[in-house]
Amino acid sequence: MIFVVRNLVSFKLLTSLLAVATLAVAVSPCRSDNEQSVITKHSDGLHGYIHYNTSGRDKGTFSAGIGFYSAVWALTDQPLAGFQIGLPGCWILPDNSDDKDVPLAPEGTLARTWKERGPTWSSVFQTVEGGLGYWAGNHFRYGWPKFSMNATPQCYDYEVGSPGWSFFYSDKSLPDNRLSIAQLSNRLLIPPDGLPFQDGHDGQFLGYAWLALPFTAPTLGDPPTGDQSWTCFLNAANFKGPIAFYVPQTWSKIAALFKQPYLNGRGLDSRPGEVGGGAIEINTVPRFEAHDSKGAVYSRIPRLHFPVDKDGRAVLVQDVTYFGKSALYDAVKRWRDEGVPCSGAFDPTGASKPVLTTSPTRYDQASKPITGVESVCLTKVFSGNRWGVEWFDNPIARAGYLPEYYRKDGESWTPVSPDAVPSETGLAAQRFEVARKGSDYVTPNTSAWRMPGPATATTTVNLADGSRVTYAWYRFIDQPVFQQYRLPEGEKQRLQKLISEIHARWTINREYMPSPTGGSLVKLDPALVVTPPKGMEHGYVPIVVGQRARD
């Protein structure tokens, strides 16, 4: 998960979702002159939010989307097991600020059990929170981060990360009635384990934006459903444009499912999007712990690297922009209703540049605060409204690295230099566990994937993360997500026609998001970029049906 916004989801909540338990495993003895020191291994080595806030926008006008450029880099020198850190991202909520006391999370949902989120539970009702990061559940780690379209449609009862699967938790695809993402691009594969990048980058930028677009018309059924399809756009060196969207029914069906009419019109299908900032979310980091002959306790975490320039600055986010409906929604609506095509480029008159602000970051280890990191680095807004981290000269860690070693001082931890850790602890000799290849994502065999089913046989490609992805071409309207809904034939044909026209006009080498004001663009793994078969150039999409480790 990658976020933040107005309300940060607590570490306790996140770890309960991931079922990550703190380990206390004896690793090896290390003898000193006086006694034997046992090194133990844990999963709670570092936690915290390195965040920024935004201000200075008209929420009434600019609540139909957000976009920005986020740095892509390898946090560690090798892929680690039990490791989860989200790189800078955002968290979109439906704006229910008019609700002061009526619960949005129905009884029986997971979020409703989090009493501290009451009385409305608006912060955990529905979210779009996808972005860059390392997730503990990734099956195929390769050292670099990945990009994923994560969202929680129903009070954290389930999560969605790709057109077929959740947040990497399960080998099996989501049940047919919980599929949520419609593949829009006819040129890019979206694997269940996230989108990998080409190796060799260190601080290049990926641009991405979420825009509410009206591909479908609103309906008055049970439940009534708005016309907002939250659509993900990417801007990379080798791919530009929209990749997929959440179908509006994803957000509206909770009202009918739980028989709560109050929830009609409360979801992301119809409400403005509320976003208040972004963050790096440090969630699960392994650590070793040992004590010296005097009883002092020391710990070590993996070396975490940031991409710094010659001035000791790591620029991590730039060009944060909020969008109103005039940015693209209005033009797509005219296309839908009047047949007037648009270029897909974001209209700058519908964009608002917020002012970025930052605040000191609070870190903790084993639920105890860490004090002293501010002498190593601080978050900062740099010139050009760019946000990141600045390093200072100090003996604890080199520029671009978070402290690796800590000493327990009462009820807190203090970062220390490697030279300050007694050799008798044996911490310097320890090696963190390297991630192993995970299990296969199983090819679905449910009716949504078979009826009407794909238009071609499957094709297999090898990705940079060491996996092999299998995909098939589906007619856009025949892809699995739509099969749970009984769309009228006329609506299906209208939507199919619109998407075919978008494929013809919105090519992957044109500008949609404005170009970054600094730095260069990262490359997605080139194997993700595919070409439609002859006769299927428009109106067909490549749906991933499985992912497994290469032999």
Q: Each residue of 469-496: pLDDT tens digit?
A: 999 999 999 999 999 998 999 999 999 9
The DSSP H or E segment spanning 254 is helix 249-257
Residue pair 93/122 in contact by the 8 Å Cβ criterion? yes
pLDDT in tens, 520-549: 999 999 999 999 999 999 999 999 999 999
Tell me, yes or no, whether 287 lies in a domain.
no
d(CA 153, CA 151): 6
Residue 329 lies in a domain: yes
pLDDT band at 284 (very low <50, low <70, confident <90, very high): very high
Rounded distance between C-alpha atoms, residue 5 and residue 97, angstroms: 14
pLDDT of residue 22: 44
pLDDT at 18: 41
Kindly state the average pLDDT of the residues 491-517.
97
Task: Assess if residue 417 is contained within a domain.
Answer: no
Q: What would the 3-class secondary structure string for 381-403 be?
A: EECCCEEEEEECCCCCCCCCECC
Cα distance between residue 210 and residue 197, in whole Å: 20
Q: Which domain holds residue 307?
A: 66-275+302-350+443-549
Tell me the per-residue pLDDT of 61-86, one tens digit each, with 9 for 90 and over. Answer: 999 999 999 999 999 999 999 999 99
Distance CA 330, CA 352 (A): 16
Q: What is the pTM of this model?
A: 0.93
The count of structural domains within the chain is: 1
Q: Per-residue pLDDT for 20 more than 90?
A: no
Distance between CA 53 and CA 283 in Å, rounded? Answer: 20
pLDDT tens for each residue of 370-410: 999 999 999 999 999 999 999 999 999 999 999 999 999 99
User: Which pLDDT score, from 0 to 100, does residue 12 have?
Assistant: 35
pLDDT value at position 35? 52
Residue 21's pLDDT band (boundaries 50, 70, 90)? very low
Burial 429-439 (b: 16+ CB within 10 A, else e): ebebeebebbe
Is residue 213 assigned to a domain?
yes
Residues comprising the chain, all counted: 551
